[in-house]
Amino acid sequence: MEFRYLPMTNLDKREMLDAIGIQSTEELFSDIPEHVRFKGEMNLKAPISEYELTKELTELASRNIHTKEYTSFLGAGVYDHYIPSVVDHVISRSEFYTAYTPYQPEISQGELQAIFEFQTMISELTGLPVANSSMYDGGTALAEAVNLSAAHTKRKKVLVSKAVHPEYRAVIDSYTKGQSIEVIEIDTVNGITDLAQLDQALDDTIAGVVVQYPNFFGQLEPMKKIDQLLENHQKTMLIVSSNPLALGYLTPPGEFGADIVTGDTQVFGIPAQFGGPHCGYFATTKKLMRKVPGRLVGETVDEEGTRGYVLTLQAREQHIRRDKATSNICSNQALNALASSVAMSSIGKHGLRKLASVNMQKARYAKKKILEAGIEVAFDGAFFNEFVIKVPGSVSKINKYLLDKGIIAGYDLAKDDKSLEGYMLIAVTEVRTKEEIDQFVKELGDVHV
């Protein structure tokens, strides 16, 4: 026998057919006219043994370029960070790995507490009192926030900075189309939102203002000034998308008056893994608590006074009238939320600040070396661990050259904006060594395209 796992035996098949009262599998398709049924053979390889299949897939997988063998300076929303070994150990436990939505609190205390701890950590990072779980990723979490702002203010226009991740903006466009919400994009100046244009666009028809902090170009938006612009527009909501690692060092958006803060916790314990799955977060003020998408886990006590955890609020169509639901998000991202919680717990409060600081220091070392090599840095403002450079030639060709040298270089910004031809977004995280940064700068300086 070459196969260890068989879906069924012939006897199993016969018993199932007998149970439903038919003689063959073909009878299941009797309602489909003969002339539209496929009669030929599928263009598939012949079955092979498990060993042969494993060998073939391993060979295919080995063709992939990955960050265990290549040095990566690619960020743009997905980052190469160290993942503590305890993360995989915890999330691989069967009680977490196989768990789904914890509808029955009496048998889901571990899962519920894990979600509660995630919410608590996000609340502390963002400076807002309420955080949920089970957002798909940073982009969809931000789009949910935009829809919430329109529903809460009963307005149909939002202002979105062009310094917000272009993929996030695309998701916003998709989400708002069905709600007939008009998205007005605000230009950038020197890598940050054009505050003069933002101020001019603000009026009593705007539901929310969306910025990213740090933004897509790695720059820090002037959050205090943006909040001041909104002082005369009290009903307009400030929505901020934030890298939670950066919030280990930066002033949290909640302290700048943000109404909703969203983001992606991929930076904590979640591998790049071809861009997903990730784990979005969503934090807000207490007054918006009942309009938060997804679910909220709360802490309580039972009739004997023992601490316990329950699903406190679920403002989605599965639990309340469809016309009252704020979102139709249904999937449970608790396993990824757990991975991020374990990573944050392992790093610790003081370790998180130190980790953020190391990211900033290494990024500044890279910027310094790049400037010394005579390569132009596009923007001169404050930044976290990403910055934009102007390269002498095509970014795509330079990236191919560097890939041959074992380096995954930065993001080609011309992919999203043709006016940024020749501009590369570079990310420097804590795992990059001085030697790797020096080698990257050397190879970058040696490129002749």
Per-residue pLDDT tens for 257-296? 999 999 999 999 999 988 789 999 999 999 999 888 888 8
Q: What is the pTM of this model?
A: 0.89
Is residue 206 in some structural domain?
Answer: yes
Q: What are phi and psi of 122, to 5 degrees?
A: -65, -40
* CA 273/CA 97 separation, integer angstroms: 17
Q: What domain count does the chain have?
A: 2
Same domain, 145 and 176: yes
* Selection from 154, 158, 131 nearest residue 143 by Cα: 158
* CA 438/CA 148 separation, integer angstroms: 46
pLDDT of residue 448: 55
Same domain, 365 and 228: no
Is residue 7 in some structural domain?
Answer: no
Is residue 25 in some structural domain?
Answer: no
Is residue 94 in some structural domain?
Answer: yes
Same domain, 225 and 209: yes
Q: What are the Cα distances from residue 205, in Å, to 67, 148, 287?
A: 46, 15, 21
CATH at 303: 3.40.640.10
pLDDT of residue 1: 43
CA 318 to chain centroid, in Å, comes to 24
pLDDT of residue 145: 97
Q: Is 265 helix (H, G, I), strand (E, B) or coil?
A: helix
Same domain, 329 and 184: yes
Is residue 51 in some structural domain?
Answer: no
Is residue 12 in some structural domain?
Answer: no
Same domain, 295 and 440: no
Same domain, 128 and 225: yes
Q: List strand residue ranges (DSSP E) for 101-167, in order.
A: 130-131, 157-161
CATH at 407: 3.90.1150.10
Q: Is 258 helix (H, G, I), strand (E, B) or coil?
A: coil
* CA 170/CA 182 separation, integer angstroms: 13
Same domain, 174 and 209: yes
Same domain, 328 and 404: no
Same domain, 355 and 273: no
Is residue 52 in some structural domain?
Answer: no
Neighbours of 40 (CB within 10 A): 5
pLDDT of residue 316: 54
Q: Which range marks the domain in which residue 365 is found?
A: 71-83+350-446
- Length of the chain counted residue by residue: 449
Same domain, 332 and 365: no
Q: Which residues of the chain have pLDDT under 70?
A: 1-6, 315-326, 328-332, 448-449
Which residue among 295, 320, 347 closes a domain?
Answer: 347
Is residue 196 in some structural domain?
Answer: yes
HSE-CB of 372 using CA atoms within 13 angstroms: 9
Computed from CA positions of residues 416, 419, 424, 427, in that sequence, does the dihedral angle turn out positive or negative? negative
Which residue among 347, 379, 412 closes a domain?
Answer: 347
Same domain, 215 and 355: no
pLDDT of residue 293: 86
Same domain, 332 and 418: no
pLDDT of residue 326: 63
Rounded to a whole number of angstroms, the CA Rg of the chain reads 25
Q: What is the C-alpha end-to-end distance of the chain, expressed in Å?
A: 57
8 A C-beta contact, residue 409 and residue 446: no
pLDDT of residue 168: 98
Which residue among 324, 347, 370 closes a domain?
Answer: 347
